[in-house]
Structure 1
Amino acid sequence: MWFTQEKLPLGKYIAQYVEWLTQHGASVFDSISLSLAGIITVFTNALCWFNPWALIVIFALLAYYIQRKVSLTLFVAFSFLLIFNLGYWQETMETLAQVTLATLVCVIVGVPLGIIAAHRPWFYTVLRPVLDLMQTVPTFVYLIPTLTLFGLGVVPGLISTVVFAIAAPIRLTYLGICDVPEELMDAGKAFGCSRRQLLARIELPHAMPSIAAGVTQCIMLSLSMAVIAALVGADGLGKPVVNALNTADIAMGFEAGLAIVLLAITLDRICKQRETVKRGDA
């Protein structure tokens, strides 16, 4: 058909651009890769430095301190004891370090972007299609250029995780700020609050439940990338899942998958309880 004979070379242009970046920015990308890999190594070594028994107690006490529920505290202790018993403690700590770092990056970048978008509608108009693209494009598509630029290892998996998960805190921060009642804003202005004081004393406290939900979503999305990150050389619970898939090892696949599920449920329940407590206090 005549319409498809002359194909638009979009993929060719993207490939040329990535090749240009690889040739002219290799030192920059190598520095970024070494820095991020070093940070992840520090996170992982810090978690693995603790005795597993002591760390299980710390996690259980932290869960009780946050949400004050004995049942959830026992579930957290049981989950980590089961992971320890199955022999996936090291992989779980590696995954937890990657998820923690990815979530920190998403929150540090995403929350300010959400605030700016809520205060400047034109910025959100520009940002929204970018967020739609980041959430809908299959992760393997942007995993290819990150793999080309940063090489095998945990770094391309981490960057892909951030790209995939950062939309959640941006959108929910934007929604939380936009949902602040006009009456509260008018009252603050009547008392002479500056724009910074309105943000710190009215907008952020009112939007905090939405921001907390964005953080929870970010954690879950980051955990969902564990297996995909393992395909490009990242350590963690995704690696035994990939190995089980390659060797058709049902036992290994089930145990590693169960460890991911337990870690996800534990983090989700702790964060949701924190959100509920704050809503009740308000």
Structure 2
Amino acid sequence: MKIIETIPMKQWISNLTDWITDNFEFLFEPIKDNLGAFIEWLSETLQWINPWLFIALIAILAFFITGKRIGLAIFAFIGLWFIFNQDLWQDLMDTFSLVITSSIISVVVGVPFGIWMAKSRVVEAIITPVLDFMQTMPAFVYLIPAVAFFGIGMVPGVFASVIFAVPPTVRFTNLGIRQVSKELIEASEAFGTTGFQKLFKVQLPMAKKTIMAGINQTVMLALSMVVIASMIGAEGLGQKVIESLSRNNVGLGFVAGVSIVILAIIIDRFTQSLNTQKGE
């Protein structure tokens, strides 16, 4: 015998989701249309570039961004050539478009929230458990509201990726600003800087290395969502992995998985190199 009756939490959440979907459809539809159009334009633009030219540009950029070290350039050239050779170039561009879009939105949202947390203990106390919830919730769960709000396709994939990927940027921005030396803050205040000047000329530049580390984690988390996002219609390399599962095609799954790993390594090394350069 139950001492307390079962709390109808499932029904409450379902009702809340239905209410949000019905009452904010005017907001979701423009986001879906405009964001979907942007992702499609970005993917088509990247595909318009000759693959060999794209590969060469990435290899050259890798050479200079790593301080003229040849290792990443060679890996990028061979890795991207391998993906092109396996007829997965279009899927790579779709995945790259999803990651870029998700990462940009995550950074645009995450940095201001991180600054807000750094400026207020109350805001930090409120947002921290929210971030904990976002990071510990299984990623598959984010697909449910994404589909409810935006249907299927690339846009709900971006929505789920942003929720999953934004916490590191918020946390590291907050951490970086709070770690700025109090002596520097006091010195800037002594010279009569405004709050805006202090933020953009002292705190953010000094916290840049930490913030970049958070952005690196955000980009990698966005990339890790490509397979999960493909379950709700997001195109790209993740879709090939899902297809290989449904058809029990080990070869296709392996090649698509290796392609995702290649992309992940290139993006990770690029962002780490940028962080090192900015921190020097």
Following TM superposition, by how much is the alpha carbon of 1:20 offset from its aligned partner in structure 2, in angstroms? 2.0
- Look up the match of 1:19: 18
Cα offsets for 1:191-247 (capped at 9, x unmatched): 222211211221111100111111110110001000000000000110010011111
Distance apart, 1:70 and its partner CA: 1.4
Q: Residues 111-144 of structure 1, C-alpha deviation per residue, up to 9 Å, x if partnerless?
A: 1110111011111111111111111111222311
Which ranges in structure 2 are unaligned for 5 or more consecutive residues? none
d(CA) in 1 for partners of 2:254, 2:82? 13
User: What CA deviation, in whole Å up to 9, does each residue of 1:148-203 have, x standing for no partner?
Assistant: 22111111111000000010100000000000011111111122222112112211
Query: TM-score, with normalisation over the residues of structure 1?
Result: 0.96
* 3-state SS of paired residue (1:8): coil
Q: Which string of whole-angstrom CA distances, capped at 9 and with x for unpartnered residues, describes residues 4-57 of structure 1?
A: 6x1101110110111123333334322221111111001101100101001111
Q: Does 1:102 align with 2:88?
A: no
Separation in 2 of the partners of 1:36 and 1:259? Answer: 25
Q: Which amino acid aligns with 2:23?
A: H
d(CA) in 2 for partners of 1:159 and 1:278? 30
Q: 2:3 & 2:176 partners in 1: Cα distance?
A: 46
**Structure 2 counterpart of 1:179:** 179
Greater mean alpha carbon deviation, residues 27-36 or residues 201-210 = 27-36
**Aligned partner of 1:161: which letter?**
S
- 1:205 paired residue number: 205
Number of the residue aligned with 1:124:
124
* Residue 34 of structure 2 is aligned to residue 35 of structure 1: yes
Distance 1:28 1:119, change over 3 A: closer
Provide the residue aligned with 2:148 in structure 1.
148
The match for 1:47 is 46
In the alignment, does 2:91 pair up with 1:91? yes
What is the alpha-carbon distance in structure 2 between the residues aligned to residue 24 and residue 125 of structure 1? 30
> TM-score w.r.t. structure 2 length?
0.96
> Which residue of structure 2 aligns with residue 224 of structure 1?
224
Of stretches 38-47 and 139-148 in structure 1, the one that deviates more from structure 2 is 139-148
RMSD, matched Cα: 1.2
Q: Which amino acid aligns with 1:153?
A: G
Q: Deviations over 1:90-111 (max 9, x none)?
A: 1011100110011100111111
Deviation, 1:63, is 1.5
How far did 1:86 drift?
1.3
* Cα distance in 2 for residues equivalent to 1:104 and 1:275: 17
Gaps of 5+ in 1: none
Q: 1:2 to 1:236 in 2, by over 3 A?
A: same
Whole-angstrom distance in 2 between the partners of 1:205 and 1:184: 12
Q: In structure 2, how many angstroms separate the alpha carbons of the residues matched to 1:95 and 1:262?
A: 12
**Counterpart of 1:50 in structure 2: which amino acid?**
I
Percent identity over the alignment is 39
**1:169 and 2:169 aligned:** yes
Corresponding position of 2:275: 275
Q: Distance in 2 between matches of 1:39 and 1:163?
A: 19
- Separation in 2 of the partners of 1:112 and 1:160? 20
Give the SS at the match of 2:216: helix
